[in-house]
Amino acid sequence: VLQHSIDATGINRGPQPGHRLEVAVFYVVYFIVFPFFFVNIFVALIIITFQDQGQKELEEAEINKNQKSCIDFALNAKPIQRCKPKQEGSLRYRIWQLCTSSYFEFCIMVMIALNTCVLMAKYYRSPSTYNDILTYANTTFTALFTVESILKIIAFGLRNYFRDKWNAFDFITVLGSIADVLVTEFRLTKANVALSVGPQKHKVRIDN
């Protein structure tokens, strides 16, 4: 519709590309600016109404906003559970110290950033050598993340490990990455087998 409106000229006249570029401003203002503007006003009115209603309830209860926040925090607070191995000299305790250290978390964040860069580095019609390097790098990161999950399971225990939603998400992501690596390796192996079997079949046909 925007393209046809810009190309429109006059009555009994054919369209001309880019004849009325100012129409684009109308569509941008009418379909983008106005809807967002009115939606923001509507949301702001709802928020102000709820805030006024909440302030009235606080005045009726004779408590201020800070006191209500303290009460809500006390009612919704949950104790922090820290899964720490009992034997401090054991191997599991050392692994726990490693997994809970800030250096370990920093290394994991760096690996996540590098893995993201590797996944973003693919482009259309890239050389096969370049694709192989990216595949090996992705496989390496998958192996490192798998080691991370194994270390955390050993340190925290299987039950305590999956209590953390982020750990469960990381574990599912690692499983997906392992499946992707296996599928990729299977395709490469299948392609290599096809390439090696093809010339042999051709040779057998020539010999026959």
Which tokens belong to 147? 């080691």
Q: What pLDDT, on a 0 to 100 scale, did the predictor assign at position 191?
A: 53
Please tell me which of 19-23, 83-87, 182-186 the model is most confident about, judged by mean pLDDT: 182-186
Q: How does the average pLDDT of the chain come out, rounded?
A: 80
Which has the higher per-residue pLDDT, 88 or 62? 88
Tens digits of per-residue pLDDT, 119-140? Answer: 899 888 889 899 999 999 999 9
Residues 6+ apart with CB under 8 A from 47: none
Tens digits of per-residue pLDDT, 137-151? Answer: 999 999 999 999 999
Smallest Cα–Cα separation from 134: which of 110, 111, 112, 117?
117
Distance from C-alpha of 88 to C-alpha of 71, rounded to nearest angstrom: 38
Q: What pLDDT, on a 0 to 100 scale, did the predictor assign at position 81?
A: 56
Query: What is the greatest pairwise CA distance in the chain?
Result: 101
Tens digits of per-residue pLDDT, 42-80? Answer: 888 888 888 777 777 666 666 666 777 777 777 777 665
pTM for this predicted structure: 0.57
